[in-house]
Amino acid sequence: MEMTLRWYGAKFDSVTLQQIRQVPMVKGVITTLYDTTPGEVWPIERVRAMKEEVKAAGLRLSGIESVNIHDDIKVGVPSRDKYIENYIATLEALGQNDIHMVCYNFMPVFDWTRSDLKKPLPDGSTALSYDQELIDKIDVDSMLSSMEQKSDGFVLPGWEPERMARVKELFAMYRDVDEEKLFQNLVYFLKAIMPTCKKYGICMAIHPDDPAWPVFNLPRIITSKEKIQRMLDAVPDKENGLTLCTGSLGSNPKNDIPDMIHAFRGRIHFAHVRNVHHIAPGKFDEAPHPTSLGSLDMYAIMKALYDTGFDGPIRPDHGRMIWGEVAMPGYGLYDRALGATYLSGLWEAIDRSSAR
């Protein structure tokens, strides 16, 4: 595995590449052209410049998170073919710059959803949290304004203001899209891009839906072992793979993550590893990374990755906000650096105590 941190680019991130370079064991970053909109072709020179900037800081550009998918592709309207062509052109720009991993999601309207971006925890830190009861009580507009108020001026990934300004229109677009239709639209997209992925050796890593159940009555299809298996089987090329996000899948206690890691061996191209604290069904806080502070067995997760020979990029995922840091919710430096160090420590212990 290659330990990495997510970085949004100098214009958008409070964390610098120089700081990331000093986190023990972190060798690469996962980044994006954060100011592009879904459907746009990424200019090859900009991709090259992004890669150079990362390299100049002594790091590797280990993959992209995300190249977002235009809603016309998810909804499956005729204009999707034009946007798929644009997506392919972006993949060409990445492939020509020797970039081989792309994380994306296929969630309608919203990317990840939380009911609170700053829930105070007993130790004085704040964390992202989710409570289905609260979500059931609020309308989409109130949720959007609460997200905006608590994001400290940062643009949240997947919650770009231009998209959110169209939220009603987006809901209307998905009116007739059920789970099956969304699934077929995903398969259509994947089949169309596979030849380009093969040409450049680009591994597509779909991000699970977060939380792992339908929100605001919108369909969600990457939520469980069976559904993920169906997606992998529908397009069996190895370039069609998964981002193993323990926090998203782990929002549902029924998901056995080590078991999924074994089942999807060879198709996991990227790992987001974080802990969650289950409070009640449909209610959880994002916890610090260590096993004893949340509900997931982080040792078992790292061991399953190790035992299945996972060699892709891995990153600690959302951290709490600690030590007075002001940063994009979930993406401060300090708690993610603690997470990276903890995960690297687990890996070393597993490696040294294994017979391999």
Active site residues: 207, 245, 272, 317-318, 331
Give the separation between CA 62 and CA 1, rounded to whole angstroms: 11
Interface positions with ligand DNO (CB under 6 A): 65-66, 103-105, 111-112, 157-158, 207, 318, 330
Nearer to ligand DNO, 317 or 352 (CB): 317
- Nearest residue to ligand DNO, scored by beta-carbon proximity: 66
Nearer to ligand DNO, 102 or 346 (CB): 102
> Coil, strand or helix: which one is 272?
strand
Nearer to ligand DNO, 74 or 207 (CB): 207
Q: Among candidates 322, 277, 3, 346, which has minimal Cα distance to 131?
A: 277
Residue with tokens 């690297």: 344
The encoded tokens of residue 166 equal 């169209």
Residue with tokens 């605001």: 216
Q: How far is the CB of 355 from ligand DNO (least distance, A)?
A: 34
Nearer to ligand DNO, 112 or 189 (CB): 112
Q: How far is the CB of 325 from ligand DNO (least distance, A)?
A: 17
Long-range contacts formed by 109-113: CB under 8 A, 24+ apart: 109/71, 109/167, 109/170, 109/171, 109/174, 109/216, 109/218, 110/158, 110/159, 110/215, 110/216, 110/218, 111/157, 111/158, 111/159, 111/210, 112/157, 112/158, 112/210, 112/248, 113/143, 113/210, 113/211, 113/215
- Report whether 31 contacts 6 (CB < 8 A): yes
Q: How far is the CB of 66 from ligand DNO (least distance, A)?
A: 3
Nearer to ligand DNO, 208 or 258 (CB): 208
Q: How far is the CB of 190 from ligand DNO (least distance, A)?
A: 15
Q: How far is the CB of 157 from ligand DNO (least distance, A)?
A: 4
